[in-house]
Amino acid sequence: MADIGAQTPFFYILREREMIYDLFEAATEGIGIIGREEAINWGLSGPMLRASGVKWDLRKVDHYECYDELDWQIQWQIGGDSLARYLVRIGEMRESVKIIQQALKIIPGGPFENLEARRLHRGKNSEWNDFEYQFISKKPSPTFKLPKQEHYIRAEAPKGELGIFLIGDDSVFPWRWKIRPPGFINLQILPQLVKGMKLADIMTILGSVDIIMGEVDR
């Protein structure tokens, strides 16, 4: 009985925590609304796009890697507000766990060698710590000539569509190389979202955009 009595305050804390979460959700709901057509016209992607009622995920659209062999669903909402974007990301975390669990089961077997573990096991005085062995577990990138043509490849990154655009010049160096970071594209709509909003709402809206400073510092 003493143990049960000692645990009672923790259950009270969990109850109060859920009530606080409800208050947080009520304060982000209806803030920073982006309509379906508006999201498409601005070129938004990732959770920013899917939270506005657009069921678009490049893993389903382009059918790359082994995603078609796994059981998972696109997470999307129709609210278009900060809460909807939050719910999409929470749903994607759960789907990611499902994907990882399935992927672990279908990884083919076979021998392997962890060279990094061998280096650590030998200690700091081992020859594996010499300069020429520092990158032994990392394979060098292949070198090939880029033909005289344009090429665009895209992938579904956590923030949205990550694209690489290349123009070849029949050499090992591209004539033009452009990276499309999803955060930089998604951030463009921020001035429109904060118009008429309260100062406290700006941080909520910015957080729902979920930018990476390395992508938007231009």
Distance between CA atoms of residues 68 and 59, nearest Å: 8
pLDDT for res 72:
96
Is 98 a member of any domain?
yes
pLDDT tens-place string over residues 164-175: 999 999 988 899
Asked if the structure places residue 7 within a domain, the reply is no
Would the pLDDT of 131 be above 70?
no
Residue 154 lies in a domain: yes
pLDDT at 129: 64
pLDDT at 185: 95
Residue 181 lies in a domain: yes
pLDDT at 3: 60
| Spatial strand order in the sheet of 150-157 | 150-157, 160-167, 176-180
The most confident of the ranges 15-24, 102-111, 153-162, 190-199 is: 153-162
| Number of domains the chain contains | 1
75: in domain: yes
Q: Between 120 and 37, where is the model more confident?
A: 37
Predicted confidence at residue 178, as pLDDT, reads: 94
CATH number for the domain including 117?
1.10.645.10
- Residue 22 inside a domain? The answer is no
Tell whether 196 is covered by a domain. Answer: yes
Domain that holds residue 52: 31-216
Q: Is residue 24 part of a domain?
A: no
Q: What is the pLDDT of residue 136?
A: 56
Dig out the tokens for 103 from the structure. 């992927």
Q: Which sign does the torsion angle of CA 48, 50, 53, 59 carry?
A: positive
Neighbour count for residue 90 (Cβ, 10 Å)? 12
Q: Is the per-residue pLDDT at 26 higher than 90?
A: no
Is a pLDDT exceeding 60 seen at residue 137?
A: no
6 — alpha (psi -120 to 50), left (phi > 0) or beta?
A: alpha
Q: What's the mean pLDDT when you consider all of the chain?
A: 87
| pLDDT 10s digits, 103-123 | 999 888 877 767 667 766 766
